[in-house]
């Protein structure tokens, strides 16, 4: 888990279910959970730093030992730009979901579909990488929050 997962409605399925059932907007949820998540972060980060400071020792070039080169991680600038646009749209939809009437889980489905469409010929590869067992467990918990009419 991380700060985004614990403090936001879209962080994990229980947050979606709780926030939707309480009628919270994205902002309401952050107000109610963000403070404690932020406090926990300020406690946990120093704790982990002291526990793992030897492993965080800097290499000769000044980068941490496991610091990847971003140019190696981004294989296609076009795909990266598309992913950034989909992410930005998802964030905008999540922040405005109380005004648009879209549920958080519906926004997740829209974002997933957009990602598959943007991946083009690689969509099959993405679908083969999905952990379907986990989805079989999560889908029944998310469907009630879609509020299909």
What is the predicted pLDDT for the residue at 149?
A: 42
CA separation for the pair 105, 142 (Å, rounded): 7
Ramachandran area for residue 102 (φ above 0: left; ψ -120 to 50: alpha; else beta): beta
What is the predicted pLDDT for the residue at 53?
A: 77
* Average pLDDT per 10 consecutive residues for the chain, totaling 149 residues: 69 76 83 86 90 69 64 85 93 86 83 91 86 78 59
CA separation for the pair 56, 113 (Å, rounded): 38
What is the predicted pLDDT for the residue at 84?
A: 94
What is the predicted pLDDT for the residue at 63?
A: 61
What is the predicted pLDDT for the residue at 71?
A: 78
- Residue 64 has phi, psi (to 5 degrees) of -60, 155
CA separation for the pair 43, 36 (Å, rounded): 11
Which neighbouring-strand residues pair with 64? 58
What is the predicted pLDDT for the residue at 81?
A: 93
Residues 6+ apart with CB under 8 A from 8: 15, 26, 29, 30, 33, 34, 94
Q: pTM for the whole thing?
A: 0.64
DSSP code per residue over 54-100: TTT-B-TTSSBTT---HHHH-S-HHHHHHHHHHHHHHHHHHHTHHHH
CA separation for the pair 29, 3 (Å, rounded): 13
């Amino acid at each position: 888990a991380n700060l985004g997962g614990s403090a936001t409605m879209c962080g994990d399925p229980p947050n979606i279910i709780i926030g939707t059932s309480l009628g919270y907007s994205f902002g309401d949820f952050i107000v109610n959970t963000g403070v404690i998540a932020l406090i926990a972060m300020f406690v946990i980060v120093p704790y982990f730093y002291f526990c793992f400071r030897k492993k965080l020792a800097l290499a000769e070039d000044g980068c941490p030992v496991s610091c990847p080169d971003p140019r190696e991680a981004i294989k296609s600038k076009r795909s990266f730009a598309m992913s950034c646009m989909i992410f930005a749209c998802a964030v905008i939809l999540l922040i405005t979901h109380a005004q648009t009437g879209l549920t958080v889980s519906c926004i997740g489905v829209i974002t997933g579909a957009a990602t598959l469409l943007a991946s083009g010929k690689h969509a099959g590869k993405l679908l083969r990488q999905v952990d379907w067992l986990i989805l079989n467990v999560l889908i029944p918990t998310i469907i009630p929050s879609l509020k299909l009419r």
